[in-house]
Structure 1
Amino acid sequence: MSMKSLAQESWNKGRFFFGHKLSSVQVIITYYILITLMALILFYLPIFRQPDSHVPFIDMFFMAVSTISVTGLSTFPISEVFNERGVILLEILFQVGGLGIMMISTFFFIISKRKVTLKQRQLIMTDMNQPRLSGIVRLIRTTFTILLGLQVFSGVAFSFYLKLSGYFHQWVDAFYYGFYISISAVTNSGFDVTGYSVSPYANDFLFLLAIMVLIFIGGIGFPVLVDVKEWLSFKFSKRFNSFRFRFSLFTKIALLSSVILFIGGTLVIFFLEKNHLFNHMDILGQGINSMFYSITTRNAGLQIHDLNDFQTTTLMIFALLMFIGCSPSSVGGGIRTTTIMIIGLYLFAF
Structure 2
Amino acid sequence: MIHKLKELYRGATPIQSLVTYYALATVAAFILLSLPCFKNPGAKISFLDTLFMAISTISVTGLTTFPIEQVYNQGGVVLLEFLFQVGGFGITMLSTVALVIAGKRISLHQRQLIQFDMNQPRLSGMVRLVTSVFGLMIFVQIVFGVIFAAYFKATGVWTTWPAAFFHGIYVSVSSVTNAGFDVTGNSIIPFRHHYGFLFIVMILIIIGSIGYPVLIECENWAFYKFSKQTTKRRFRFSLFAKMAVFFAVFFFIVGTILIYFSEMRGTLSRQDWFDKLMTAMFYSVSSRNAGLQINDMAEFNTTTILILAILMFIGASPSSVGGGVRTTTVG
State the TM-score, normalizing by the size of structure 2.
0.96
Per-residue displacement from partner, 1:269-321 (whole Å, max 9, x unpaired)? 11111221112211111111110000000000000111110010000000000
Show structure 2 runs of 5+ residues with no match: none
| Residue 281 (str. 1) matches residue 271 (str. 2) | yes
- Three-state SS of the structure 1 residue aligned to 2:284 is helix
Change (3 A) 1:247 1:240: farther
Change (3 A) 1:235 1:312: same
The one-letter code matched in structure 2 to 1:111 is I
How many angstroms apart in 2 are the aligned matches of 1:77 and 1:240?
Answer: 58
How many angstroms apart in 1 are the aligned matches of 2:138 and 2:217?
Answer: 17
- Offset of residue 112 of structure 1: 2.8
Of 79, 82, 99, which residue of structure 2 is paired with 1:92? 82
- 1:228-243 aligned at under 5 Å gives the runs 228-239=218-229, 242-243=232-233
Q: In angstroms, what is the RMSD of aligned CA positions? A: 1.7
1:3 aligns with none
- Offset of residue 228 of structure 1: 0.4
How many angstroms apart in 2 are the aligned matches of 1:171 and 1:67?
Answer: 27
| Residue 259 (str. 1) matches residue 249 (str. 2) | yes
1:56 aligns with 46
1:74 aligns with 64
Structure 1 ranges of 4+ moved more than 4 A: 12-15
- Three-state SS of the structure 2 residue aligned to 1:16 is helix
State the TM-score, normalizing by the size of structure 1.
0.91
| Residue 211 (str. 1) matches residue 201 (str. 2) | yes
Answer with 309-318 or 130-139: which moved more: 130-139
Of 101, 110, 122, which residue of structure 2 is paired with 1:111? 101
How many angstroms apart in 2 are the aligned matches of 1:286 and 1:190?
Answer: 22
1:180 aligns with 170
The one-letter code matched in structure 2 to 1:289 is T
Show structure 1 runs of 5+ residues with no match: 1-8, 342-350
Report if aligned partners of 1:15, 1:27 keep a CA contact under 8 Å in 2. no
How many angstroms apart in 2 are the aligned matches of 1:183 and 1:339?
Answer: 27
Of 269, 287, 297, which residue of structure 1 is paired with 2:287? 297
1:198 aligns with 188
1:4 aligns with none
- 1:309-320 aligned at under 5 Å gives the runs 309-320=299-310
Report if aligned partners of 1:274, 1:286 keep a CA contact under 8 Å in 2. yes
Answer with 271-280 or 71-80: which moved more: 271-280
| Residue 16 (str. 1) matches residue 8 (str. 2) | yes
Report if aligned partners of 1:184, 1:191 keep a CA contact under 8 Å in 2. yes
- Offset of residue 14 of structure 1: 5.0
